[in-house]
Structure 1
Amino acid sequence: MAQLQLKGIRKTYGNAVQETLKGIDINIESGEFLILVGPSGCGKSTLMNSIAGLETVTEGSILIDGRDVTHAEPKDRDIAMVFQSYALYPTMTVRENIAFGLKIRRMPKEEIDAEVARVAKLLQIEPLLDRKPSQLSGGQQQRVAMGRALARRPKLYLFDEPLSNLDAKLRVEMRTEIKRLHQRLGTTIVYVTHDQIEAMTLADRIAVIKDGELLQLGSPKEIYERPSCRYVASFIGSPAMSFIPLKVERDGGNLRASLRSADDDQMYVPLPEKLAAYEGKEIHLGIRPEHITQPLAHKAGQEATSSGKFRIEVTEPTGPDVMALIRINDTEVHCRLDPDHTVDPGEPAELMIDLSRAIYFEAGKEARIDV
């Protein structure tokens, strides 16, 4: 296990004006599972390769356990990397693939055999040791690639989109395996993915990156419930958060806003007093699908909840839920309903909106309004 510190990491290619990485600062504690998440081309793989020593940084420093490795060769950083493509040697058996790095380090044969046996047992690939990669499934090849990394017992593990080539069912299974492995070994892991489900299920902390800039660093719960900006709010969560334009009004002593359905039915919802500075102005309400539901008895009468009728445009049964699409203030909005609560597309339905966890944004701006 090792502590990793990234200080002011910048990366520019050639004479390009646009920076690929824009001053990334992250401290990763020993034994922590950090996930770098963001869209394709955001710079997360460049940052990963910089940590591994496969890319040179333009500015900043990389420290492992306090030792500056910014300009150290990859072999001198004591890092193991699992690639998207697995990068197994096709002519070697599984046993030889796992042992290869240990042979390069000139470990005694007895120690190599013992380490291969340990890793094979840990990953449950003992029956595969004498097979070639071409004889393995995608999930089995991924286990072998992980085994090769684990056999080295490095200070730090890097995973670069390791599950992206697997089918959906196998991805779920391998996520569980990686999670179990981390809990068992307590290793320090930096993991790159564009899949926000992987990020939410695996990470101790998530770093959301866009256009080479770190937008937010926090636990999955923090990222999901208190996103720092509109982009993070929309990127994390499936279906994504809905953003409803509304005008802040005052009715007597209380702030409120009007929500209008596709049929022009109107309901009013209460707003926090901290939005008083926006009275008479338009803001955007950010709300997750699970906060718009069928009427719930245990929430009825709560200050932050309101009910009204909205026309159901589309329903998408998922098994445990029904995702429904409605329209509020001329904006498409997702809601999450109980599968036993019958709603029909094209028909109005009574829905409950819970604003206790709503997030507010200034119209046309990224920053969240603190309330």
Structure 2
Amino acid sequence: MATLELKQIRKTYKNADNETLKGIDISIDSGEFLILVGPSGCGKSTLMNTIAGLEDISSGEIVIDGRDVAQVQPKDRDIAMVFQSYALYPNMTVRGNIAFGLKIRKMPQEQIDAEVNRVAEMLQIDHLLDRKPSQLSGGQRQRVAMGRALARRPKLYLFDEPLSNLDAKLRVEMRHQIKRLHQQLETTIVYVTHDQIEAMTLADRIAVMKDGELQQLGSPKEIYNKPNNMFVAGFMGSPSMSFIRTRVDLDENDKPIVRVFSGDNQQHVVALPESLRSQDGNEIVIGLRPEHITEKLDEETAVATKVKLKLEVLEPTGPDVIAMVKVNEQEVACRLSPEFDVNAGDVAPLYFDMSKAVFFDAGTEERLLV
């Protein structure tokens, strides 16, 4: 296990107009599982490659256990990496692939055999040791790639979108496998993905990136419930947070409110937290997760506002139904119970749980502190 500190990491490619990485600062504790997440082209894989030493940085420090390794060769950084493409040697058996790194380090054969058997048993691939990669399924190949990394027992593990080539069912199974391994081994892991479900389920902390910049670093709960801005709020969650643009007014009692309009142009008044009184006359954006717009809320904790909404589209998922409605001419997702007897086109009374709402400045798109 090791600590990792990324200090003002910058990366500019030759002949490029813009920086790919723009001063990334992240500190990772020993044994922590950090996930880098963001859309394609945000710089997360580039950042991963700079940690591994596969790409040079333009400036900054990469500190592993107190040692700056930014100028150290990849082989001397004591890092193991699991690639998206598995990168197995096709002419070697599973045993040979797992043992390869150990042989390079001239480990005694007896220790190599013991380590291969340990890793194979842990990953439940001991019955595959004499097969070649061409005889394995995608999930089995991924476990072999993980086994090769685990056998080295390095200070730091890097996973670069390791599950993206697997089908949906296998991705779920491999997520469970990786989670169990981390709990057993308490290893330090940096994991890159564009899949926000992987990020939410696996990470101790999540680093959300956009255009080479770190947008937010926090626990899955913090990222989900208290996003720094509309980008983070919209990127994390499935379905993602819905945004309702509106203007703050004061009612006859000098309380802050907004007026929202349903698909059939009915007006509804929604009360806001007292702290938003200072936004009187300003445009804001209300962010609500689908589970915070539903047919029934826990009345003890919810601050509920009843709104009649036309259900334009219903998407049954099994445990719930995702309904799409229009609020202020914007499409909004709601999460309904499968027992709620409604059809597409119905107008139904739904409740906004304003205690869970997140508010953003309509201009800067940054979260308003309330």
1:163-217 per-residue CA deviation (whole Å, 9 max, x = no partner) reads: 0000000000000000000000000000000000000000000000100000100
Preserved CA contact (<8 Å) 2:35 2:191 = yes
One-letter identity of the residue aligned with 2:304: T
- 1:322 alignment partner in structure 2: 321
- Structure 2 matches for 1:85-104, cutoff 5 A? 85-104=85-104
Match of residue 62 from structure 1: 62
Aligned-residue sequence identity (percent) comes to 68
Q: Letter of the aligned partner of 2:68 in structure 1? A: D
What amino acid maps onto 1:23 in structure 2?
G
Classify 1:63/1:303 alpha carbon distance in 2 versus 1 (closer, same or farther; 3 Å). closer
Residue 304 (structure 1) aligned with residue 303 (structure 2)? yes
- What is the rounded CA distance, in whole Å, between the counterparts of 1:50 and 1:310 in structure 2? 50
Q: How does 1:1-371 map to 2 (within 5 A)?
A: 1-251=1-251, 252-296=253-297, 298-299=298-299, 304-371=303-370
Paired residue secondary structure (1:22): strand
The answer as to whether partners of 2:206 and 2:217 remain within 8 angstroms in 1 is yes
Give the whole-Å Cα distance in 2 for the aligned partners of 1:331 and 1:225.
22
Q: What letter corresponds to residue 159 of structure 2 in structure 1? A: F
Deviations 1:110-147 (A, max 9, x none): 01001001101111100000000000000000000000
TM-score normalised to structure 1 length: 0.98
Q: Give the secondary structure class of the aligned counterpart of 2:147.
A: helix
Normalising by structure 2, report the TM-score.
0.98
> How well do the aligned residues superpose, as a CA RMSD in angstroms?
1.0
5+ residue gaps, structure 1, are: none
Q: What letter corresponds to residue 203 of structure 2 in structure 1?
A: A
1:322 maps to a residue whose letter is V
Find the residue that maps to 2:340 and give its secondary structure: coil
Alpha-carbon shift at residue 17 of structure 1 (Å): 3.0
8 Å Cα contact 2:6-2:26 kept in structure 1: yes
Question: What's the CA shift for 1:85?
Answer: 0.3
1:206 aligns to what SS in structure 2? strand
After the TM superposition, which segments of 4 or more aligned residues of structure 1 sit over 3 Å from their partners? Answer: none
CA distance in 2, matches of 1:267, 1:328: 10
Gaps of 5+ in 2: none
**Paired residues, number:** 369
User: Residue 205 of structure 1 contacts residue 219 of structure 1 at CA under 8 Å; is this kept in 2?
Assistant: yes
What secondary structure sits across from 1:366 in the alignment? coil
Tell me, yes or no, if the aligned pair for 2:302 and 2:354 is still in contact at 8 Å: no
Contact kept, 8 Å, 1:269 with 1:305, in 2: the verdict is: no
Greater alpha carbon shift after TM alignment, 261-270 vs 156-165: 261-270
**Cα contact 2:263–2:329 (8 A) shared by 1:** yes
